[in-house]
Amino acid sequence: MARYNSILDTIGNTPLIRLGRMAPRHVNLYVKVESFNPMGSVKDRMARAIIEDAEQSGALTPGQTVIEATSGNTGIGLAMVCAQKGYPLVVTMAENFSVERRKMLRFLGAKVVLTPASEKGTGMLTKAEELAAQHGYFLCRQFDNPANARVHTETTVPEIIRDLQGDPLHTFVTGFGTGGTLNGVATGLRRVSPDTEIVAAEPDNAQVLGSGIPQPRDEQGKPTGSHPNFKPHLMQGWSPDFISGLTEEAVANGFVDSIQPVPGDLAMQTARRLAQDEGIFAGTSSGATLAAALAIAESAPNGANIVCMLPDTGERYLSTPLFADIGEDMNADELELSRSTQGFRFDTRSAPSPAVAAQPVTLDKSAEAFVKSAPTQAPVVMFALEWCEFCWSARNLLSEMGVEFISVDLDSVAYQADDRGNKIRAVLAEQTGSPTIPQVYVDGEHIGGCTELFDIQRDGQLDTALNKLGVSFTPYNEDPYALLPKWLHTRAS
Ligand code: PMP
């Protein structure tokens, strides 16, 4: 490992891994695991290539805003590249793509403009074009930009050939979204390994290439709408509703030797098997590409070397059908396992702790004075911890309502000297009869913890108390319990 000057220098050089358990024994099936890229997908390659190509040609000037229509991975890659290089980024995305993707983009500093799901891929593209034209942004045009394909010719292909160490490559399998991978890898392989069979995989319910029907386009070559064979499918990042320029070019050049249709449920099942049998955690389109490669492998000659692209990590799909069967709570098996030993079960009280002789508690005088005076310093005062999720949820409710409050964070630096935070906690526990945090006070009166605060908000008592104090606030009409982090819901409500 070298030292790197920037995160961008860690893009590419992803590992080629032989599948030892899933592949039929008579072939060598290798997966190229693109989740090893810094932002976890194959699109990091393209993001850097398009931006640097535009820098060199002068199409992108320092400080200019970059914009692109993307289902996520391209945007996430671009967000990394733009953050590192200092370009503002706007991404247009159809609302039906996973929420994780939007949040990641915003975390990386990008703006995300959603477009209606009904308008599909062409909707997000047209919106990006409109915004670029109106505001003078640099539009990446990943579906047609030759830099998207070129980076695969220049990096992905040499990596594969190097890692095969002289062994011949019989078959290369990929899906296509922009077609950058397909076009660029095929271009490179035809030069250095002309006998390699190139297989393009696509959803079985949306066979746009398999149909042989050309993409309808206007005189400028722009798609005039969805391809007639397109149907919504489960493989995010694969087959948009039109055939891209780069995909069309790959087909026209005779680079696609065969087309392999893949059913959506098989794609997801294969992604799960890949995780559970090989320990490789990848997304839906990876499962789909591997399903295609496994189908090809069945009839491949003995000793054939097959390379299959795995475009991204599985972590991006927690809210999608890929995880639909993966539960949050314990299933019957896990419950049985839990019940197989005595301690720490949910169906019995915890084992009583061994009797401890009651220690006389000496409470710190200044802490006592503080617990008495602090609750009168604001309409709402809570004794809290900085990193407690119940405290965080209670603070969220008060912020949503715009109520003036003080959060006395007992684990913060301000309360660390002389163990003051713990001394205050001891006084609080003694006075409230509850060892838990937060402890909330309204108008100097002790209310209880987070759930008690939520309860008095729900039944109107909090509003009444605040009105009585003459405190201004915005009535909160949602269920405050929804403010708890998701994993707390079942336990706390
Ligand atoms: N899988 C996923 C998850 C993707 O995000 C993409 C890119 N849209 C692809 C596959 C297809 O790659 P390409 O755009 O190079 O055809």
User: How far apart are alpha carbons 29 and 278 in whole angstroms?
Assistant: 12
pLDDT at position 492, please?
42
Q: What is the pLDDT of residue 491?
A: 44
Ligand 1 pocket, residue 317 CB under 6 Å: no
User: Which of the residues in the chain have pLDDT under 70?
Assistant: 1, 348-361, 487-493
Check residue 72 and give its pLDDT. Answer: 83
Q: What is the pLDDT of residue 474?
A: 95
* Predicted local distance difference test score (pLDDT) of residue 120: 81
| b/e map 39-55, b = 16+ CB within 10 Å | bbbbbbbbbbbbbbbbe
pLDDT of residue 360: 64
Task: Name the closest-CA residue to atom 5, ligand 1.
Answer: 237
Instruction: Out of 3.40.640.10, 3.40.50.300, 3.40.50.150, 3.40.50.1100, select the CATH number for domain 11-40+146-210+238-313.
Output: 3.40.50.1100
pTM of the model: 0.83
Show contacts of 101-104: CB within 8 Å, 24+ apart.
101/71, 101/72, 101/73, 101/75, 101/76, 101/316, 104/72, 104/76, 104/79, 104/316
**Is the CB of residue 31 less than 8 Å from the CB of residue 49?**
no
Q: Which residues are catalytic?
A: 43, 285
* Cα 237 to averaged position of ligand 1 atoms, centre (Å): 5
Residue nearest atom 3 in ligand 1 by C-alpha distance:
237
Among 285, 317, 320, which is best to mutate for testing ligand 1, by the most ligand atoms less than 8 A from CB? 285
Domains 43-139 and 365-492 share a fold: no
Report the nearest atom of ligand 1 relative to the CA of 240.
8
- What is the Å distance from ligand 1's center to 279 Cα? 22
State if residue 283 touches ligand 1 by the CB under 6 angstroms criterion: yes
> Ligand 1 pocket, 449 CB below 6 A?
no
Cα 359 to chain centroid distance, Å, stands at: 50
- Pocket mutation for ligand 1, best pick of 32, 42, 124 (most atoms within 8 Å of C-beta): 42
Residue nearest to atom 8 of ligand 1 (CA): 237
Express each pLDDT in 267-321 by its tens digit. 999 999 999 999 999 999 999 999 999 999 999 999 999 999 999 999 989 888 9
Domain residue limits, the chain: 11-40+146-210+238-313, 43-139, 365-492
CA 311 to ligand 1 centroid distance, Å = 6
The number of the ligand 1 atom at minimal distance from the alpha carbon of 285 is 1
For ligand 1, what atom is nearest to the CA of residue 152? Answer: 15
Q: Is the shortest distance between the CB of 311 and ligand 1 below 6 Å?
A: yes
The pLDDT, as a whole number, for residue 300 is: 98
Amino acid code (one letter) for 4 = Y
Beta carbon of 40 within 6 Å of any ligand 1 atom: no
Q: How far is it, in rounded angstroms, from Cα 166 to Cα 410?
A: 63
Atom of ligand 1 nearest to the CA of 182: 16
Cα distance between residue 311 and residue 141, in whole Å: 19
Å from CA of 121 to ligand 1 middle = 13
Pairing of strands 66-69, 445-448: unpaired
Strand partners, 305: 28
CA distances from 109 to 73, 76, 230 (A): 15, 10, 33
State the distance from the centre of ligand 1 to the C-alpha of 41, rounded, in angstroms: 8
- Return the pLDDT at 450: 93
pLDDT score recorded for residue 350: 54
Please indicate whether residue 238, judged by its CB atom, sits closer than 6 Å to ligand 1: yes
Looking at the domain covering 365-492, what would its CATH class be?
Answer: alpha beta
Question: Is residue 184 within 6 Å of ligand 1 at its C-beta?
Answer: no
Expressed in angstroms and rounded, the spacing between residue 135 Cα and the centre of ligand 1 is 28
Number of residues that this document lists for the chain:
493
Residue 179 Cβ < 6 Å to ligand 1? yes
Q: Whose CA is nearest to atom 7 of ligand 1?
A: 237
Nearest C-alpha neighbor of 240 from the set 229, 251, 249:
229
For ligand 1, pick from 32, 33, 41, 198 the residue to mutate: most ligand atoms within 8 Å of CB.
41
CA 99 to chain centre: 7
Q: What value, to the nearest 5°, has the Cα angle with vertex 118 and ends 227 and 66?
A: 85
Closest CA to 264 of 230, 233, 232: 233
Other Cβ atoms within 10 Å of 61 Cβ, number: 11
Using the mean position of ligand 1's atoms as its centre, give its distance from the Cα of residue 213 in Å: 22
Tell which CATH classification among 3.40.50.1100, 3.40.50.300, 3.90.1150.10, 3.40.50.620 matches the domain 43-139. Answer: 3.40.50.1100
Give residue 238 CA to ligand 1 midpoint distance, Å. Answer: 6
